[in-house]
Structure formats: structure tokens, C-alpha cells
Amino acid sequence: MTSRRWGTRGAGIIVAARETGRILLLHRSDEVNEGGTWGTPGGKIDPREDARTAAIRELREESGWTSPVTVLKEPVFVFTEPDFEFSTFFGYVDDEFEPYLNWESQDAGWFTLGRLPKPLHFGVEALMRKQKSRVAKEIALIR
């Protein structure tokens, strides 16, 4: 499946709440690629920006989160195509928060790994297919 993207490199973040162990997913609006699917905050890596910094910026832009977030130094998953790479990082906050959504999302929710909404964005599907146990391990470590 192609990403129908806006560049050659992107980054996103799967954010968990320490208090509940649930992850934040955003329901993508019809104004973006893969609209109507549930995904993580993420997008294009700006010039002179590293992937981790881009993932944090995208979290702030797409959810309105302005408080501290702890993010692993290395991605938990890298989706690759011949001319595209998307790095997904794992981060956590203390408590769940009510996202302040921009035009890219129409809804948001906090979910357990065992009860994810459908349809998932193809990138989140790939992440869960290949690294769900790694994400579960990281969630267990923060609790």
C-alpha cells in the first residue's frame, strides 16, 4: 500500500498514559490521506529536523499537548517503501488528556492494545502486526 505522501521522510508517535496504560489514537479527517482511519500523531519531517523532534512536534500540533512528554531515543518501528521512510516513536505522559484537535483529525480516543478501533491507518496496522509486543513491553515498563 502506498503512503501517498508529502515527502520522503516522516515521523510519528504512539503515546501512552502511565496512569491507565492506554494509547492515544486520532481519527483522521477526510482532509488528509487515509481519512477515516485511526492513526498516531505524525507527519513530514521538516528540513534540519530529526525524526524524534518531528514526532514530538507533530504530537503538539495534532493534539494540542504542551506539557512534557517522555520519548524513547530510537523508534519502535520504521515503515519503509523504496522512496519513503516513516519512523514511529514511543512516548508517554502521566495521565490521559483531552486532545485539542486541528483540522487533520475528527476525533480522538485512548485505547488498550487489546481493543483498538477500526479501521486502523495502514501504518498503525503494520506497527501492531510487527511490534505490538514491543509496544506492550514499553507500556508495562512505564507503569
Give the span between the Cα atoms of 143 and 125, in whole angstroms.
24
24-33 pLDDT, tens per residue?
999 999 999 8
Of 87, 52, 57, residue with least CA distance to 71: 52
Give the span between the Cα atoms of 71 and 79, in whole angstroms.
18
- Say what the pTM is: 0.93
Domain residue extents for the chain: 9-142
Give the span between the Cα atoms of 6 and 110, in whole angstroms.
27
46-58 pLDDT, tens per residue?
989 999 999 999 9
Question: How buried is residue 142: exposed, middle or buried, by Cβ count under 10 Å (0-12/13-18/19+)?
Answer: middle
Residues 6+ apart with CB under 8 A from 118: 38
Of 4, 22, 11, residue with least CA distance to 76: 11
- Mean pLDDT over all residues of the chain? 94
Mean pLDDT value of segment 106-117? 98
* CATH architecture of the domain formed by 9-142: Alpha-Beta Complex (3.90)
pLDDT of residue 105: 97
Residue 85's alpha-carbon distances to 8, 27, 90, in angstroms, are: 6, 22, 17
Q: Say yes or no to pLDDT of 115 above 80.
A: yes
